[in-house]
Chain A
Amino acid sequence: MSASTDGNLGPSHKLVEAGVALLIGAAGVVVIIGSIKAGIGWGAEGPRAGFFPFYIGLFIVLASVINLVSALRVRHHHLFAEWSQLGHVMSVLIPSAIFVGAMPFIGLYVSSALFIGWFMRRLGKYRWLTVLAVAIGAPVITYLVFERWFLVPLPKGPLEDWLGL
Chain B
Amino acid sequence: MEELANLFHGFAVALMPFNILVMVIGIVLGVIIGVLPGLGGANGVAILLPLTFSMPPTSAIIMLSCIYWGALFGGAITSILFNIPGEPWSVATTFDGYPMAQKGKAGEALTAAFTSSFVGALFAIIMITLVAPLVARFALEFGPAEKFAVYFLAFCSFVGLSKEPPFKTVAAMMLGFALAAVGLDSMTGQLRLTFGFTEMLNGFDFLIAVIGLFGIGEILLTMEDGLSFRGNNAKINLRVVLHTWKELPRYWMTSLRSSVIGCWMGITPAGATPASFMSYGIAKRVSKNGKNFGQGEIEGVIAPETAAHAAGTAALLPMLSLGVPGSPTAAVLLGGLLIWGLQPGPMLFVEQKEFVWGLIASMYLGNVVGLLIVLTCVPIFAAILRIPFSIVAPLILVLCAIGAYSVHNSTFDVMLMLVFGVIGYLLKKCNYPLAPLVLAIVLGDKAEEAFRQSLLASQGALGVFFSNGLVGTIMALGLIALFWSPINEGFTRLRSAATGRPRPAGPDYE
Contacts and interface: CB of A to CB of B under 8 A. Distances in A.
Interface of A: 16-17, 20-21, 24, 27-28, 30-31, 34-35, 37-39, 42-43, 45-53, 56-57, 59-60, 63-64, 66-67, 70, 80-81, 85-86, 88-89, 91-93, 96-97, 99-101, 103-104, 108, 112, 115-116, 119-120, 123-124, 126, 134, 138-139, 142, 146, 150-155
27 contacts: A16-B429, A20-B430, A20-B432, A28-B174, A28-B178, A35-B193, A38-B191, A46-B187, A49-B187, A52-B181, A53-B178, A53-B193, A56-B178, A66-B167, A81-B429, A89-B220, A89-B425, A91-B223, A92-B397, A96-B421, A100-B411, A101-B415, A108-B401, A115-B397, A119-B393, A120-B394, A126-B391
Interface residues of B, number: 62
A151 B54 contact: yes
A158 to B, nearest CB: 15
A16 B272 CA distance: 29
Contacts of B406: 146, 152-154
B171 A134 contact: no
Contacts of B409: 153
A27 B426 CA distance: 15
Contacts of B405: 103, 108, 154-155
A14 to B, nearest CB: 10
B418 interface: yes
Contacts of B205: none
Interface in B138-185: 165, 167-168, 170-171, 174-175, 177-178, 181, 185
A140 to B, nearest CB: 12
A47 B418 contact: no
Contacts of A38: 185, 190-193
Contacts of B187: 45-46, 49
Contacts of A21: 171
B200 to A, nearest CB: 10
B455 interface: yes
Contacts of A59: 170, 174
A45 to B, nearest CB: 6
A110 B220 CA distance: 23
Contact of B175 (A60, A81, A89, A138): A60
Given A24-B171, A56-B177, A103-B414, A88 B223 contact: yes
A37 B277 CA distance: 46
Given A63-B171, A99-B397, A100-B415, A34 B224 contact: no
A34 B411 contact: no
A88 B397 contact: no
A148 to B, nearest CB: 12
Interface of B: 50-51, 53-54, 165, 167-168, 170-171, 174-175, 177-178, 181, 185, 187-188, 190-195, 216, 219-220, 223-226, 388, 390-391, 393-395, 397-398, 401-402, 405-406, 409, 411, 414-415, 417-418, 421-422, 425-427, 429-430, 432, 448, 451-452, 455-456, 460
- Residue with the highest number of chain B CB atoms closer than 10 Å, among A52, A63, A66, A67: A52
Contact of A20 (B170, B195, B388, B427): B427
Given A92-B220, A108-B402, A146-B402, 12 more contacts: A49-B187, A53-B177, A56-B181, A92-B393, A100-B417, A100-B418, A115-B394, A115-B398, A120-B390, A138-B395, A139-B398, A146-B51
Contact of B219 (A45, A92, A101): A92
B398 A112 contact: yes
A27 B405 CA distance: 25
Which 4 pairs across A and B sit closest by C-beta, in order of nearness?
A124-B390, A38-B192, A34-B193, A119-B394
Contacts of A138: 395, 398
A154 B170 CA distance: 37
A34 B182 CA distance: 9
Contacts of B394: 112, 115-116, 119-120
Nearest to B457: A46
A97 B418 CA distance: 7
A152 B188 contact: no
A69 to B, nearest CB: 10
Contact of B178 (A57, A92, A139, A155): A57
A53 B192 contact: yes
Contact of A31 (B193, B388, B395): B193
B430 A89 contact: no
B402 A63 contact: no
Contacts of B391: 120, 124, 126, 134
Given A57-B178, A89-B220, A49 B185 contact: yes
Contact of B167 (A30, A67, A85, A142): A67
Contacts of B220: 89, 92-93
Contacts of A153: 406, 409
Nearest to B216: A96
